[in-house]
Amino acid sequence: MLSINMTVNGQAVSGEVEERTLLVQFLREQLRLTGTHIGCDTSQCGACVVQVDGNSVKSCTMLAAQADGCEVTTIEGLASNGELHPMQQAFKDNHGLQCGFCTPGMVMSAIDIVKRNGSVVDEATVRKELEGNICRCTGYHNIVKAVQAGAKGMGG
């Protein structure tokens, strides 16, 4: 067993984990932050994307031990004072979801897209940059619209 410490959504947390514990398991099973989903468990689908030290990563493909000492942001950490993050609001406004299972990962990846490309991002770029996130409902059209709207929202 290992003792690990990290900051999750602004709060210091610690835990005892098996060496093989994945970051997503630590978040979901120990911290009960179940907004981060496990879709494929093979690094393909992106439902488990969170931010570690500001970069989007697949939390099913990172050991909890590797995140020791890091700052982690999950979907639960985006809203503040009861107000949705602009990207969450854009997904709501544009109906950027069908079943909603992939949505947390889509939103986390979308914020990373804005970080790297700015608040004006064209459709082709959004589609290319979302290639690590799979929507099993194939609802990409509104997801892309939502990302573009959210990017504008984040840009002020």
Partner 1 sequence: MYNFSYQKAASVDEAVAAMQAAEDGKFVAGGQTMLPTMKHRLASPSDVIDLGGIADLAGIAVDGDTVTIGAMTTHAAVAASAEVGETIPALAALAGNIGDPAVRNRGTLGGSIANNDPAADYPAALIGLGATVKTNRREIAAEDFFTGMFETALAEDELITAVSFPKPEVAAYMKFDNPASRYAIVGVFVAKTGAGIRIGVTGATTCAHRGKRLEQALGGELNAAAIDGVDLPVDKMNADMHASAEYRAHLVKVMTKRAIEACAA
Interface with partner 1 by CB under 8 A: which residues?
A: 2, 18-20, 22, 41-44, 46, 49, 55-58, 61-63, 65-66, 68, 109, 112-113, 116, 129, 131-133
In the block, residue with structure tokens 């610690």: 14
* C-beta closer to partner 1: residue 41 or 93: 41
In the block, residue with structure tokens 């999750």: 8
Q: In the complex, what is the shortest distance from the CB of residue 40 to partner 1, in angstroms, rounded to a whole number?
A: 10
Q: In the complex, what is the shortest distance from the CB of residue 48 to partner 1, in angstroms, rounded to a whole number?
A: 9
Percent helix, strand, coil in the chain, to 5, is: 40, 20, 40
* C-beta closer to partner 1: residue 1 or 83: 1
Q: In the complex, what is the shortest distance from the CB of residue 25 to partner 1, in angstroms, rounded to a whole number?
A: 10
* C-beta closer to partner 1: residue 8 or 67: 67
Q: In the complex, what is the shortest distance from the CB of residue 68 to partner 1, in angstroms, rounded to a whole number?
A: 7
Q: In the complex, what is the shortest distance from the CB of residue 36 to partner 1, in angstroms, rounded to a whole number?
A: 13
Q: Which of 99, 101, 79 is nearest to 88 (CA)?
A: 79
Which amino acid would we find at residue 86? P
* C-beta closer to partner 1: residue 115 or 152: 115
Beta-strand pair 2-8/71-73: parallel
* C-beta closer to partner 1: residue 3 or 92: 3
From residue 135, give the alpha-carbon distance in Å to each of 71, 106, 125: 27, 9, 17
Which amino acid would we find at residue 153? G
| CB distance 47 to 39 below 8 Å | yes
